[in-house]
């Protein structure tokens, strides 16, 4: 998710020359973690490191916050593994890959959050949390049901 009035390269250049950016980055990361924790805890997800997980007899679902290697942003990733540690027998995990929020959103709803955006435009984080809770989390939680193959979503 990036601001419309300034391209990512310009914003990264600005941040790279801002001596307070490392502190601001950690402030933004803390806000993201706190908001995700508040959204996921009521559903039984427990935070460990940068991953919230929930276990059932069908497997373990996880919501992971992955920091980019360059330090500009994070991305929300979804995963489900069976009790055997395998990807579920479901087309969404045919390649055993993580699912991003882009599967559920439109436009800038990829689940990728630039730290500067979180601080400067808080509604971007609000939209990501809303998408996670209203679309992605119910879909992910359905993997814990008896028939996960019946799960569909309009973004297929």
pLDDT at 103 over 90: no
Q: Is 12 exposed, middle or buried (0-12, 13-18, 19+ CB in 10 A)?
A: middle
Structure-model confidence comparison of residues 32 and 99, the more confident one: 32
Tell me the per-residue pLDDT of 7-21, one tens digit each, with 9 for 90 and over: 777 878 888 888 999
pTM above 0.85, yes or no: no
Q: Which phi and psi angles does 11 have, rounded to 5°?
A: -70, -40
pLDDT at 1: 39
Tell me the per-residue pLDDT of 34-91, one tens digit each, with 9 for 90 and over: 999 999 999 999 999 999 999 999 899 999 999 988 888 999 999 988 888 887 777 7
Q: Which phi and psi angles does 119 have, rounded to 5°?
A: -75, -40
pLDDT at 147: 63
Band of the pLDDT at 3, cuts 50, 70, 90?
very low
Tell me the per-residue pLDDT of 118-154, one tens digit each, with 9 for 90 and over: 988 889 899 999 999 998 898 888 888 866 554 555 4
pLDDT at 156 over 50: no
């Amino acid at each position: 998710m990036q601001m419309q009035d300034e391209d990512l390269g310009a914003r990264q250049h600005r941040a790279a020359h801002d001596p307070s950016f490392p502190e601001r980055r950690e402030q933004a990361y803390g806000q993201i973690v706190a908001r995700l924790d508040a959204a996921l805890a009521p559903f039984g997800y427990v935070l460990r490191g940068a991953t919230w997980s929930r276990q059932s007899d069908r497997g373990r679902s996880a919501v992971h916050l992955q920091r980019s290697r360059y330090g500009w942003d994070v991305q929300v990733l979804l995963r489900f593994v069976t009790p055997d540690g395998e990807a579920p027998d479901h087309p969404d995990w045919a390649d055993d890959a993580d699912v991003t929020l882009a599967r559920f959103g439109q436009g800038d709803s990829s689940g990728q959050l630039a730290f500067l955006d979180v601080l400067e435009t808080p509604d971007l984080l609000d939209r990501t949390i809303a998408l996670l809770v209203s679309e992605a989390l119910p879909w992910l939680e359905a993997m814990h049901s008896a028939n996960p193959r019946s799960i569909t979503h309009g973004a297929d």
